[in-house]
Structure 1
């Protein structure tokens, strides 16, 4: 973050300076009182369980340059160093300050959203751009109403482009994120049924996600996955510039002749500038799709294909997102970060693509936030897993029992076991594991299936 005077912050958020030097500078922003750097602005968020206003004295006492507060400041604050800025709502003030800060920069901003694959696509785009530009990108999962503003504060004038992941789970959230990040172009990976419990229909999900294009204007492009049926419907209705990517024949950027070599995928790119060979250090058709989006974005940003190729080879997957661990006797695919029907299908695709001499085992836990569609979605996923050729399906959780049911109905040849807990699933896994086996572990974040992964890594490392 570049230094900002406190008086500028007060103006940006429509606040009032209760105490402190208006000309002092803030050099970072944090919502975590335990991670404050000297010169930081501390933003106390009122959460469901904890009101962070109680940490204001500690923040000021440990070197914060300033803090927001939506509560009446305590008299004792006067005797602490640092400024105190009164605001109506600390989270809203954080967002308003981030939007103001974003407008200090004229660089291109690529927004990335979708029901599945936001993070991996963001990483792929950043990798493709990295050989020709200085890139700022979203760190981890800082893509939310609080996380995205913190991502924006990472910008400085050494950056030439930003790739910002934008996540939403309810009405109005993407509109706010777009107002903060002001993307100049945007990528939508797909429209699935994640968060359908809140948003009710896929049409609503699509409408909300398309707010990512609110700020791109006539000069900006919307990069859409041409293999997604819900996005394909925009061919007739969207009036702005669309660049299509995918496997379908009518895509501007298309992949054909796809094959795998060890832990890499090769394909032939058909693009407006011709046909070319591409390799990426990742498995699965979804990663080919991510690479197509990255190539399209990077080429439009002026990079050469040679630079894009080199950039893609630097791609590294994120923790708990299809990380492949080749252990002493088995292979583990850690995809435990989160789960939805589409992302589990992608995980199964990677499981089947990994070269192994033994069984292919899928350990799948509950998919959460699917509302009234939950039972059918889990049942259909079980059938999909069995039809894909896996040798065994172990499930964790009550909802995932339907995965086991669907798999058993689809095929009598595979081993199916429904488990109640992660410990039970690991115990069942130990009974069937042999040398050469490959295990996929995946479930919604609330199911904590990373516990199974850690047990596997500990025992078989």
Structure 2
């Protein structure tokens, strides 16, 4: 971005002041990461007031700063833009900049797999387009505008992750970003406490079409009846489905997993054999949504094949981490019942190593049914295919009581002590061990692997 302070004032319909010709090349809300030329946006919260960092922002090279009109003592002789609300100003700037950009915008949402799908799609497209994507988890009402304002003016494809916890949030993000294409990865149980049911979650995710124009295309998990029902009552919507079941526009026919990744065969909008250097049946399914978007953009099957071969994911998503003789699968970024079952299924079906371990942490934000969701995992764990289990967190005690009789002498539970699990692994794991680490973000199960690396 390269805009004058006057340009930004025009976006906000306010006065630019005497520094209107000065150039802004980015936006920041954090003086720790601010870059020269940035516009600093101070927020006033319960714990801190960003206005006290404004002068520090200028010392680090900021070109300009917003300042709330009701905040006293604005500094003199520095470029300030006075606004009523920092968040609304940020969103308005993003809205105006979005309208100027010629890039194709792609929105991605879903209960699980948003970040993986974003990474897969961006990697797939990068050899053929100038692509930028959401960095980290900047996927909410503040993060998405920051992502849009970080886009280069010559970006050709913007891949934007859209997160939510309640109704109306995805609609807001979609109408701000105005995606040309969108992907709904799946419907799980995350945010059940806010949305009440899986039906509610599906409706909230489906809001991603609200920003479409008449040419918008939705690529969605066709194995999910809740999404198919919403598609059926939206006949004007252009859509493409993907999944394992017959009748999808892109269907997985066969998957083979090795230590190098997943080789799979598809039928439908694309045909033949493809490969991604990522583990997991669920990650192959995430790749299908990306493939449909790429096909809709006009890419050939061979271009898509080549793009998939160099895909990489953000850390802690089915990430292979060798530590001495032991091989970990670090899938500790997050967890919900759907993704937990998929990871367990992968571990039980893989032939990578014969001594298979589960290290599972609590699943959070599941509402009133959290005990049921934890206990139900017992149905998916086969004592003949899993050697040992370590459970971490107070909620995993429910699963422990459910499954302990089947794993006598081969199971450990601790509510809060990573060290007990580390010691157990050191005592029992060897060169044949493959250890899956998975839990909700708040459980920070990567601590277990990091302890080994110290």
TM-score of the two chains, using structure 2 as the length reference: 0.94
Partner of 1:34: 32
CA-to-aligned-CA distance 1:115-171 (integer Å, 9 cap, x gap) = 000011111111222232221211222212222112111222322211111111123
Matched-pair contact (CA < 8 Å) for 1:179–1:215: yes
SS in 2 for 1:136: strand
Cα distance in 2, alignment partners of residues 350 and 45 from structure 1: 44
Matched-pair contact (CA < 8 Å) for 1:224–1:231: yes
Task: Specify whether residues 318 and 352 from structure 1 end up closer, same or farther in structure 2 by C-alpha distance, changes over 3 A only.
Answer: farther
Q: In angstroms, what is the RMSD of aligned CA positions?
A: 2.0
- Candidates 97, 122, 130, aligned match of 1:101: 97
Q: Using the TM superposition, name which of 136-145 and 294-303 deviates more.
A: 136-145
Cα distance in 1, alignment partners of residues 384 and 13 from structure 2: 56
Cα distance in 2, alignment partners of residues 299 and 417 from structure 1: 47
Matched-pair contact (CA < 8 Å) for 1:284–1:353: no
Which ranges in structure 2 are unaligned for 5 or more consecutive residues?
A: none
CA-to-aligned-CA distance 1:410-454 (integer Å, 9 cap, x gap) = x34682221122223223333322221111111111112121120
Map 1:251-262; keep pairs closer than 5 Å: 251-262=248-259
Cα distance in 2, alignment partners of residues 48 and 371 from structure 1: 26
Cα distance in 2, alignment partners of residues 178 and 190 from structure 1: 18
Cα distance in 1, alignment partners of residues 146 and 432 from structure 2: 44
Partner of 2:377: 381
Matched-pair contact (CA < 8 Å) for 1:255–1:268: yes
Cα distance in 2, alignment partners of residues 49 and 339 from structure 1: 29
Structure 1 residue 256: deviation in Å?
A: 0.6
Q: Using the TM superposition, name which of 439-448 and 123-132 deviates more.
A: 123-132
Task: Specify whether residues 238 and 305 from structure 1 end up closer, same or farther in structure 2 by C-alpha distance, changes over 3 A only.
Answer: same
Matched-pair contact (CA < 8 Å) for 1:253–1:270: yes
CA-to-aligned-CA distance 1:100-125 (integer Å, 9 cap, x gap) = 11110132211000000001111111
Partner of 2:414: 419
Structure 1 residue 388: deviation in Å?
A: 8.6
Cα distance in 2, alignment partners of residues 280 and 445 from structure 1: 25
Partner of 2:282: 286
Matched-pair contact (CA < 8 Å) for 1:393–1:407: no
Cα distance in 1, alignment partners of residues 360 and 46 from structure 2: 29
Cα distance in 2, alignment partners of residues 378 and 298 from structure 1: 37
Cα distance in 2, alignment partners of residues 357 and 34 from structure 1: 44
SS in 2 for 1:156: coil
- 1:72 partnered with 2:70: yes
Matched-pair contact (CA < 8 Å) for 2:176–2:211: no
- 1:247 partnered with 2:240: no
- 1:120 partnered with 2:119: no
- Candidates 291, 297, 301, aligned match of 2:293: 297
Aligned length in residues: 452
SS in 1 for 2:199: helix
Cα distance in 2, alignment partners of residues 187 and 45 from structure 1: 32
Partner of 1:347: 343
SS in 2 for 1:34: coil
Cα distance in 2, alignment partners of residues 420 and 68 from structure 1: 45
Partner of 1:276: 272
Matched-pair contact (CA < 8 Å) for 1:136–1:162: yes
- Candidates 21, 40, 51, aligned match of 1:23: 21
Partner of 2:260: 263
Partner of 1:5: 4
Task: Specify whether residues 167 and 185 from structure 1 end up closer, same or farther in structure 2 by C-alpha distance, changes over 3 A only.
Answer: same
Structure 1 residue 265: deviation in Å?
A: 1.2
Cα distance in 2, alignment partners of residues 406 and 227 from structure 1: 29
- Candidates 198, 216, 224, aligned match of 2:220: 224
Partner of 1:43: 41
Structure 1 residue 402: deviation in Å?
A: 1.4
SS in 2 for 1:150: helix
Task: Specify whether residues 320 and 92 from structure 1 end up closer, same or farther in structure 2 by C-alpha distance, changes over 3 A only.
Answer: same
Matched-pair contact (CA < 8 Å) for 1:258–1:265: yes
SS in 1 for 2:359: strand
Structure 1 residue 345: deviation in Å?
A: 1.9
Task: Specify whether residues 388 and 456 from structure 1 end up closer, same or farther in structure 2 by C-alpha distance, changes over 3 A only.
Answer: farther
Q: Using the TM superposition, name which of 66-75 and 432-441 deviates more.
A: 66-75
Cα distance in 1, alignment partners of residues 132 and 373 from structure 2: 37
Structure 1 residue 365: deviation in Å?
A: 1.0
Matched-pair contact (CA < 8 Å) for 1:382–1:405: no
SS in 1 for 2:413: strand
SS in 2 for 1:374: helix
SS in 2 for 1:132: coil
Partner of 2:149: 153
Structure 1 residue 309: deviation in Å?
A: 0.7
Q: Using the TM superposition, name which of 19-28 and 45-54 deviates more.
A: 45-54
Matched-pair contact (CA < 8 Å) for 1:136–1:155: yes
Cα distance in 2, alignment partners of residues 265 and 344 from structure 1: 19
Task: Specify whether residues 12 and 261 from structure 1 end up closer, same or farther in structure 2 by C-alpha distance, changes over 3 A only.
Answer: same
SS in 2 for 1:35: coil
Cα distance in 2, alignment partners of residues 21 and 388 from structure 1: 71
Partner of 1:234: 230
